[in-house]
Chain A
Amino acid sequence: MMAEQPLWEQIGSSFVQHYYQMFDSDRSQLGSIYIDTSCLTWEGQPYQGKIAIVEKLTSLPFTKIAHSITAQDHQPTPDNCILSMVVGQLKADEDPIMGFHQSFILKNINDAWVCTNDMFRLAIHNFG
């Protein structure tokens, strides 16, 4: 057996589980993980602040979405944050399954972990 996972692995993976579980069940609740200085880059479009981010995420035009995480990596950063990268697949309504990449920076503020940076891209090619 390996020793206990490093702290950043534990925090990163529980964040990832929490994030996609909320995203798939009720994405309007995602505001709880962002703060007013958080940045989201969604398919190249920038959004800043909890309100703008949640507005973007809730306005995505599908009713059902399911994410499946293929792999995730977590690292401690020099300023005591956690950098997380996720590779997975998603299915929106009845559309074909698509791959995606998402990266997060998590920061501990007042004893709570929040997401300060979030970048999302579909992993599709040849579609412009």
Chain B
Amino acid sequence: MSDGEYDYLIKFLALGDSGVGKTSFLYQYTDGKFNNKFITTVGIDFRERRVIYNSTGSDGTTGRGQKIHLQLWDTAGQERFRSLTTAFFRDAMGFLLLFDLTNEQSFLSIRNWMSQLQIHAYCENPDVVLCGNKCDLGDQRAVSQVEARELAEKYGIQYFETSAASGQNVSEAVDVLLDLIMKRMERCVDKSWIPDGTVRANGPTNPDLSEGSDRGKCSC
């Protein structure tokens, strides 16, 4: 964990069927690399990246850059053994919803993932970005851009065709999600609706994330 000097800590979750490339996507975003080997991480459950967010004021002026500490969480595959619980979604502010453009079933599962989100996320319409991953595998494509866009429009969310292998649109998708969240926060003068612990202004991160003991310390 890097130092505690940041304005906001924001947690994102990557969701989608097994094998759609969630881990590779996050790895590409945080490390700028594609790791096609099997990654077994023991003890590390999320990836992190610092970004500077430049908010635009209502008068069109650009505000001071805000230091954002992004935590990107992945599943370990436990959804095969049990359904994901509300605890898994706890404190997550934004969702990267992935499917595999070469696997139609993973696209059909998006509907189910969206209803899971509506049940478990902190509100019924959380910020979500839909990513059709593996767009570099053009010859194996099983889902057209048109049908993916139609689905995204139905849910009122943005759609990107991404490639964790080449890096195409990976940071763009995360940037759009961050932008949605920052705008959501700006819209709310009273930020008390944000779930406890989701956004912390300028505070150190609790090193023991497994306890969820940082809840209630939101100072925003």
Give A contacts to B, CB under 8 Å. 42-45, 60-62, 92-98, 122, 124-128
Contact = CB atoms under 8 A, between A and B. Distances in A.
Given A60-B80, A94-B18, A128 B88 contact: yes
Nearest to A45: B82
A42 B83 CA distance: 11
B210 A125 contact: yes
Nearest to B75: A127
Interface residues of B, number: 25
The prevalent SS among residues of B at the interface is: loop
B62 interface: no
Given A126-B210, A127-B45, A128-B85, A98 B19 contact: no
A127 B19 contact: no
B80 A44 contact: no
Contact of A96 (B41, B88, B89): B41
Nearest to B89: A128
A62 to B, nearest CB: 5
Tell me if A's interface is mostly helix, strand, loop or mixed.
Answer: loop
A79 B23 CA distance: 48
Given A126-B210, A127-B45, A96 B77 contact: yes
Contacts of B19: 93-94
Q: What 5 A-B pairs are tightest by C-beta distance, nearest first?
A: A95-B77, A128-B87, A128-B88, A43-B82, A126-B45
Given A92-B80, A93-B18, 6 more contacts: A62-B80, A94-B19, A96-B77, A122-B82, A126-B209, A127-B45
A43 B89 contact: no
Contacts of B84: 128
B192 to A, nearest CB: 23
Contacts of B39: 96
Contacts of A92: 77, 80-81
B61 interface: no
A43 B78 CA distance: 10
A125 B84 CA distance: 13
A95 B45 contact: no
B90 A128 contact: yes
Contacts of A97: 40
Contacts of A98: 76-78
Contacts of A94: 18-19, 38
Nearest to A100: B81
Contact of B40 (A43, A61, A93, A96): A96
Interface string B39-78: 1110001100000000000000000000000000001111
A125 B45 contact: yes
A61 B80 CA distance: 6
A128 B44 CA distance: 14
Nearest to B86: A128
A12 to B, nearest CB: 24
Contacts of B81: 42-43, 60, 92, 122
Nearest to B77: A95
A42 B89 CA distance: 21
B78 A127 contact: yes
A76 B3 CA distance: 52
A117 B46 CA distance: 35
